[in-house]
Amino acid sequence: MSALYFDDEEEGLAWETSHPIFVAHASADFYYDCADDFSPFGNDSGSDTLSNLQEWYRERTAGTRAVTFLRNMLANDWGFDTAYLNLTELAQLDTILHDDQSLNGEIDKAVIAVAFGQFKIAGQADKIIVQMAADAFRRQRYEAEKAGKRENHPWEFAAEFLARLDIMEADLAAMANKKAR
C-alpha cells in the first residue's frame, strides 16, 4: 500500500499533507482554503466529507470502495436519498422542488469532495467516483447557469462559481487521466 496523506487537525488543509499527485494538479490556492465555499473542501459538506473520508481511509478494510463509503455517509449519516446520484438527465432537475434541489446540491458537493479527497489522500481515485464527480459537475453547472439567468434576483456569483467548476473539472480530469483505478 502506498503512503496516505492526512491533514493535521490543528493545521487544517495544507500542501505538505497532500499527496504529490494532488499537489501537482490542484495548484490553485482555493484547494487549501477551508473557508472558500466554491472549493471542494471549503464548504460544510466538503469539509465534513474530507474529514469522514480520512477516517474511512484509516479504518477501512481491504476491498472496500469509496462509493460504498459515500453512499453510506449520505444515506446513513446525513439521511439523504442516494437515488439522486443516478440522475444524469439534466432536464429532470427542473422537476425537483427547490428545497430538495438545495439538499441535492449538498450531495453533489460531497461527491466532488470524495473525488478530490481520494487524490489528496491516496493520489488516486476510483473510476466510479470520478464519473460520479463528472455528473455532479454537470448538475452543479446546470443549476448555476439557471440561477445566473433568473429574471428575478439572478445569482450574483454564478459566473465566479462556473469558472471555478471549469478549473476543478479540468484538474480532476488531469489527475484521473494519470491515476484513476
Q: Over the stretch 103-143, which tens digit does the pLDDT of each residue have? A: 788 999 999 999 999 999 999 999 999 999 999 999 999 98
- Output the pLDDT for position 10: 86
Q: Quick check: 158 pLDDT over 80?
A: yes
Please indicate, yes or no, if residue 153 is contained in any of the structural domains: yes
Per the structure, how many domains does the chain have?
A: 1
- CA proximity to 125, closest of 46, 67, 77: 67
Burial tier of 49 (Cβ tally within 10 Å: 0-12, 13-18, 19+): buried
Q: Quick check: 94 pLDDT over 90?
A: no
pTM greater than the 0.85 cutoff = yes
* Identity of the residue numbered 87: L
* Identity of the residue numbered 39: S
Please indicate, yes or no, if residue 3 is contained in any of the structural domains: no
Please indicate, yes or no, if residue 5 is contained in any of the structural domains: no
Please indicate, yes or no, if residue 12 is contained in any of the structural domains: no
Please indicate, yes or no, if residue 133 is contained in any of the structural domains: yes
Instruction: Quickly state the pLDDT bin for 87 (edges 50, 70, 90).
Output: confident
Q: Quick check: 1 pLDDT over 60?
A: no
> What is the C-alpha to C-alpha distance for residues 109 and 93, in angstroms, rounded to an integer?
16
Q: Quick check: 41 pLDDT over 90?
A: yes
> What is the C-alpha to C-alpha distance for residues 48 and 41, in angstroms, rounded to an integer?
8
Place of cell 459538506: 45
Q: Could you give the dihedral angle defined by the CA atoms of residues 55, 56, 60 and 63, in that order, rounded to the nearest 10 degrees?
A: -160
Please indicate, yes or no, if residue 15 is contained in any of the structural domains: no
8 beta partners: 12
Please indicate, yes or no, if residue 127 is contained in any of the structural domains: yes
Nine-digit cell string for 49:
466529507
Instruction: Quickly state the pLDDT bin for 99 (edges 50, 70, 90).
Output: low
Q: Quote the mean pLDDT of the chain.
A: 90
- The DSSP letter of residue 149 is H
Q: Quick check: 180 pLDDT over 50?
A: no
Nine-digit cell string for 21:
499527485
Q: Quick check: 181 pLDDT over 70?
A: no
CB 93 within 8 A of CB 101: yes
- Output the pLDDT for position 100: 60
- Determine which of 40-49, 63-72, 83-92 has the lowest per-residue pLDDT on average: 83-92
- Determine which of 39-53, 59-73, 78-92, 122-136 has the lowest per-residue pLDDT on average: 78-92
- Output the pLDDT for position 2: 74
Please indicate, yes or no, if residue 25 is contained in any of the structural domains: yes
Residue 104 CB: number of other CB atoms within 10 A? 22
Distances from the Cα of 52 to the Cαs of 69, 74, 113, 126, 142, in angstroms? 9, 11, 11, 17, 28
Structural domain harbouring 70: 20-179
Instruction: Quickly state the pLDDT bin for 175 (edges 50, 70, 90).
Output: very high
